[in-house]
Structure 1
């Protein structure tokens, strides 16, 4: 049984994370430095995207979030995700990807890209029905 109660659905995908990138970010290393040193770490892109969005640099936030989203998709696929199925928010290493999706949704909404906004909300819902609320989207 998956963590979302679907007996026939795929098991949740739990990303391994990037301990070094996460440690650097927690030690207040500049996210730009972390992303440059660890470009596959969605969490670094999430930090950059969230900061840009809070500074009202919407297009920059969109670009950072899209980069982190695509890096996260690559990791998910390498870890058995087939484009659907649970990606639990409760699993800390999944949060970089999910945070990027949330910022991408907010940035898309801000520039009037309603189709992308809806796709991001659908993806968050498919990954974890609690993720959008946890991330303040929707």
Structure 2
């Protein structure tokens, strides 16, 4: 069970906030993203290999992957790791996971990338489900932009 509180709101469902990453992990990602383009995906993948629950890392691997199935795979892993992380932080399958919370963005980027690349590979029903889920998690639509 998580030590993270469930944030209840008088205006709707509870909000879950993914804990922020450490400064060391942020630094490692920043260094990997600063490598030459031809080495960048490999460098980010090395960071994620050491930290497989690192959602922002998975989102960056997806961003650095070839369009289609390669990107789809990275975003899908990040999405499922994100669901595990949300559940470990008191999320019970519904409620907000807002883009405004920086620590939620890795997961939301994975979900948005999964929607985009599901569409590219012809998985239209999955793309639609992902789009709908994004809006349920953050009705502002910021994660979809």
TM-score by length of 2: 0.81
Residue 26 of structure 1 is matched in structure 2 by 30
Counterpart contact for 1:42–1:96, Cα < 8 Å: yes
Shift, 1:61, TM fit: 0.5
Residue 39 of structure 1 is matched in structure 2 by 52
Shift, 1:25, TM fit: 1.2
Q: Tell me if 1:83 matches 2:93.
A: yes
Residue 69 of structure 1, aligned match among 52, 64, 79: 79
Residue 130 of structure 2 is matched in structure 1 by 120
Q: Kindly report the root-mean-square deviation, in angstroms, between the aligned alpha carbons of the 2 structures.
A: 1.7
Q: Which moved more, 1:24-33 or 1:82-91?
A: 24-33
Distance 2:126 2:25 in 1: 28
Which ranges of structure 2 fall in alignment gaps of 5 or more residues?
1-7, 34-42
How many pairs were matched up? 128
Residue 110 of structure 1, aligned match among 111, 120, 137: 120
Report the structure number with the largest CA radius of gyration. 2
**Counterpart of 1:18 in 2: which secondary structure?**
coil
Which ranges of structure 1 fall in alignment gaps of 5 or more residues?
none
**Counterpart of 2:32 in 1: which secondary structure?**
coil
Shift, 1:18, TM fit: 2.2
